[in-house]
Amino acid sequence: MKKIIIGARASKLSLAYVTKVKNLILESSKDLDIDTRTIKTSGDIHQNIRLSEIGGKNLFCKEIEESLIENNIDIAVHSLKDMESVDNKDLMIGAFIKRNDPRDVLISNKIKKLSELDDNIVIGSSSRRRELQLKKISKKISVVNLRGNIDTRIQKAEEKKLDAIILAAAGIKSLNLENKISLTFETNEMLPAAGQGIIAVQCRKDDKLIADIVKKINDKETSLCATAERKMLQTIGGDCETAVGGLAEIHNNNLKLKAQLFADLGNESFEQELTGRDVDASYIGKAVGEKLLNLAGEKFKKK
């Protein structure tokens, strides 16, 4: 019996994602013994500091990827939106799990509908994208930095007496906390982060056995959407403070990618949309990214 070790963060959400991946693997491949190893990342350790101040986006993945490269684990499970848009040269994403709800949601005791965002309210979030999108809805909204896992954020929101916190629907639903959601933003109201709602299963490029096991659980449609969204991010460049949203959807073998990029000052945003054949996902992502850069011009500096 082949033993496989899956590595991931120790949060409840990460472990829920691991359970999902583990069950999918066991359904598609027999005679496997799968263990889980939790790994504390820099992003988990420094929860009271903005990610941009301690090194950027990949801080939720770096230590896990290192453990994978060093053969301490065989598979890594990540939330795709936490990953860099360019793969480590020794690693690959072997499978994208069927996408969960990509939308953003509010958890609040007082805000139940969009019109109630007109008041002078305070919302907790660690995302510059979400902050600027909220301010487009109402300039009266104040956004304070709030990091940590879902339980921690809910607790901090209550302690700090925030009016609301904003999170990804996928995480809330994966932890069966739907009853906490007070408002769901439709994607035309708030475009989610590229990769939001997608679980990425990573392995070593040179480990053919594991790669063959992992590819059996890949969802083709989600993979194509992820390809378009990540290619758009690669083309734009930027860093973890870049405010950008992107969502690809497929209907009848046609892929539509919608994206939004904010100027460096945050006072202006640029939108672009393109539809083409789903097999041209990478081209669509690159074209949308290039168009956004052209629209933004000197108002956005590619890092």
Q: How many other C-beta atoms are found inside a 10 Å radius of the C-beta of residue 156?
A: 18
User: Which amino acid would we find at residue 230?
Assistant: R
Mark residue 263 as left, alpha or beta (left: phi above 0; alpha: psi -120 to 50; beta: remaining). Answer: beta
| Helix H or strand E encompassing 8 | strand 2-8
Nearest alpha-carbon partner for 257 in 227, 296, 218? 227
Residue whose pair of structure tokens reads 């959407």 in the numeric block: 225
Which of 44, 74, 82, 104 is an active site residue? 82
Residue 203 in contact with residue 214, Cβ under 8 Å? yes
Nearest alpha-carbon partner for 245 in 189, 177, 175, 164? 189
Q: First and final CA of the chain: distance in angstroms?
A: 48
Nearest alpha-carbon partner for 273 in 198, 197, 187, 196? 187
Nearest alpha-carbon partner for 194 in 285, 255, 107? 285
Residues with Cβ within 8 Å of residue 290, at least 6 apart in sequence: 235
Give the tokens for residue 183: 């408002």
CA atoms within 13 A on the CB side of 236: 36
- Rounded Cα–Cα distance for residues 29 and 24 (Å): 9
Nearest alpha-carbon partner for 146 in 155, 137, 136? 155
The two beta strands, 164-168 and 122-124, are parallel
Per the annotation, the verdict on 82 as an active-site residue is: yes
Q: Could you list the active site residues? A: 82
